[in-house]
Chain A
């Protein structure tokens, strides 16, 4: 059974803090790793799709790294703002042919 693990399950930070969380996935038969942000009552929004080992992607204050050999990806948020409060989902795409999602990391940023 393919498993995608995200940690921590939830995170509370103060505005201005930088934070990061982890996605662990199978290191074999890798095609892509997706990150999504899901704000309450809104649609999940794509952040990154990463395909190559060593990839680093950045979107504003959010960045992500990818290590396919050891099967993990980190998502970093620099200088967290209240509007960053959301659940961050990662999803592994492998030879099984579909996206396997993690349960997400719920981030709360206090003003």
Chain B
């Protein structure tokens, strides 16, 4: 089945130690998104790629970076994780349809990050 895969499902890292979360998709979608969801909060968009074009949200901290080496894979790099970065990180994909953000987004199961 076509899907969005996130690895690992759980990640424990130490304060200040760089960590990378990965996402892959078999849907061949142009657009890939990274969301952060902190406890009891709404998912919040960090950035997205439209093909190779990177789009950063204005309030995404510089500590968060992303790479998309090809259509299928996208990575979220947290350069120096702080305790406040503990959250669920969701990856999603969508087609590039004509209507902005009216295309269905397909989500992975998320990676829960714990910072010690």
Contacts and interface: CB of A to CB of B under 8 A. Distances in A.
Interface of A: 4, 31-32, 34, 36, 41-46, 49, 51, 89, 93, 97-104
A48 B60 CA distance: 28
A30 B4 CA distance: 28
B109 interface: yes
B101 A93 contact: yes
B110 interface: yes
A51 B99 contact: yes
- The interface size bin for chain B is 20 to 34
Contact of B101 (A4, A32, A45): A32
Contacts of A93: 100-102
A83 B101 CA distance: 29
Interface string B73-116: 00000000000000000101000000111111111111000000
- Dominant SS at the B interface? loop
A101 B38 CA distance: 13
Interface of B: 3-4, 35, 40-45, 48, 57, 90, 92, 99-110
A14 B64 CA distance: 43
A60 B29 CA distance: 27
Nearest to B37: A101
B66 to A, nearest CB: 15
Contacts of B40: 103
